[in-house]
Amino acid sequence: MDMAEPKNVVEMFLEQVRRRGDASALRYKKDGRWIGISWNEWAAEVTRLARSLLKLGLRPHEAVTLACQNRHEWVTIDLATQMAGAMLVPIYPTLTGPEARYIAANCEARIAIVENATQLAKLLDDPAATPKLEKIIVIDGAATDPRVLSYEQFRRVGEGVDDAALTERYSQIGPHDIATLVYTSGTTGQPKGAMLTHDNILYVSEAVLKIFEIGPGDQVLSLLPLSHVYERAGVFYPSMRAGIEICFAESIEKLAANLVEIRPTILCGVPRVLEKVYAGINEKTAKGSPITKAIFRWALGVGRKTAPYRLEKKPLPAALAVQHRIAKALVYDKISARFGGRVRLLAVAGAPMSREISEFFFHLNILTLEGYGMTECCAPATLNTLQHNRFGTVGRALPGLQIKIADDGEILLRGRSVFAGYFHLPEATAETLIDGWLHTGDIGEFDPDGMLRITDRKKDLIVTSGGKNVAPQKIENMLIVDQYIAQAVVIGDERNFLTALIVPAVETLAQYAKEKGFALPDRAALGACQPVVELIRARVNEVNQRLAKFETIKDFRLLDHDLTQETGELTPTLKVKRKVVREKFADLIDQMYAEAKASRAKEGEA
């Protein structure tokens, strides 16, 4: 029997507690072993923390900030805050002190929760920047300041609070009350707090469950930051609503081991994660014996031949079916084992996915389902599904969500998932929400079957000095599928031609250098290594052959480190912060254009 439609997230949670009881709800790894938490145990802890928040004086609709890596306490604090009638405001643990303090002050939080001493210091370093902040709870660590409580102290604070007071709080939460503020990444100015309602979350979680038919037999591995709307609204809440076990990966670095240990059926990631797996497969194959390489190429070819049949859900011809079974035993099952061997749903979103990489995995018998969404529509807006999937698109709209393309190509959305606006920013809200339509800032188009294709981010479009509009992500995705190129950023706004900053794939280059018999220098000197530069130039030229003349890359520079979140060039979902990259590598960029200008001048003199 279907459960009655809850009116808030807390009711959604408590209904699953009633249904699932002593079944395992959460799993996390500690001291080398996985520990389970039942639904009843989880609910008891949520209730305990909610009582403590009431005791600390948390008022309805107030904000509580949380700066913490993914762990079981994160989701428990989230639900406890909502049970107390308030709204959780995540703060990425990777943010700087000023950035963390800005969010805490902007959302007017009086209570903050942090993971450890590092996060605590960010709020204590400049008390004047957060004048309304009264209490800070630290999960791992002791209280070292009058405003600070240890987590154990916090858990005990509410022991005398009457359950009736708590029930009164969450029973008053309506569908259109704010459940959370999620601050945008702030790559173009100060971040804005997007107000997401309980109804936004309820709609998305129900839609995802219906589309993918997720149920108690499934198991999800949570690996992306819960501070981002994709993992929280698109993965955590639907999983909770389905009553399935949620397991927390230790870290991206330990993901490979965690996948084998947990063997999840559902995995949601961003393209960068799959790009690394893709690169790893290519690197391992390149180091293999001639027989290993031949078998892999053959299996990939079989996958390519079977792809049209599998996409259309048609039976394979007899001879091809035999080849596919052999390829599965020799190659596909080994690749699948890297994901734990049980994944039936591998969803990808958060940034554009290279079509070549999607097809590569499908040829290896692994289907990746790309979706599209944003903070302001509570994560997914469109999804490819197990029944309807097309590479190079992000699928169709969630049931009941309207999508249209504006005259300038911008994607507009309207429906229950669209946010309530930006916190205390009526002008920014009015610019983004017009007549109920959310202006996404993304450029797209529909294919003949109504599948949405994202062309580029409107603000990322490069306009050359000759007036040509160039979508950089398309070119970048063509570059990064090359085995010798790990990352690429296309440059050219208001310039007369395009250039690129390229992060080389060092391990693959090392194998190439070994085969060609030259010594590979350290990363800082790669840009001056002539064999490497010539190799990358040849690979770039191959891509140029498939581009219009105005889209071709005329020059490039090799970077001496990966673009990462820690070094400031990527967002938490691993999208490139283009403005940061342009500013950080301005000298290299100017050098390319200056050399081209000097070369043209020299040719003119001749």
Mean pLDDT value across residues 543-572: 89
Chain CA centroid to CA 70, Å? 13
Residue at 362 is within a domain: no
Domain contains 570: yes
pLDDT of 188 higher than 80 = no
- Mean pLDDT over residues 237-241, rounded? 96
Q: How confident is the model at residue 187 (pLDDT cuts 50, 70, 90)?
A: very low
- Residue that finishes a domain, picked among 123, 140, 174: 174
Q: Of 130, 147, 174, at which residue does a domain stop?
A: 174
Q: Which are the contacts of 117, defined by CB distance < 8 A and separation ≥ 6?
A: 138, 140, 141
Residue 275 belongs to some domain of the structure: no
Return the CATH number at 581. 3.30.300.30
Which residues neighbour 432 within 8 Å (Cβ) at sequence distance 6 or greater? Answer: 376, 421, 422, 438, 439
CA distance 297 to 235: 35
Task: Decide if 251 is inside a domain.
Answer: no
| 482: amino acid identity, one letter | D
Residue matched to tokens 């969450």: 170
What distance in Å separates the CA atoms of residue 246 and residue 267, rounded to the nearest whole number? Answer: 11
Share above pLDDT 90 across residues of the chain, in percent, rounded to a whole number: 71
Q: What is the CATH number of the domain that holds 160?
A: 3.40.50.12780
Which segment of 222-231, 388-397, 468-477 scores lowest on mean pLDDT?
468-477
Final residue before a domain boundary, out of 158, 174, 190: 174
pTM strictly above 0.85: no
Q: Do 50 and 63 touch, CB atoms closer than 8 A?
A: no
Over residues 213-241, mean pLDDT: 93
| Mean local confidence (pLDDT), 479-505 | 91
Residue 381 placed within a domain: no
Answer whether residue 508 is part of any domain. yes
The range of the structural domain enclosing residue 531 comes to 461-605
Is residue 207's pLDDT more than 80?
yes
Question: Using 50, 70 and 90 to split pLDDT, how confident is the model at 122?
Answer: very high
Separation CA 233–CA 377 (nearest Å): 10
pLDDT of residue 284: 86
Q: Quote the number of domains for the chain.
A: 2
Residue 394 lies in a domain: no
Is 271 domain-assigned?
A: no
Asked whether the predicted pLDDT for residue 599 surpasses 80, the reply is no
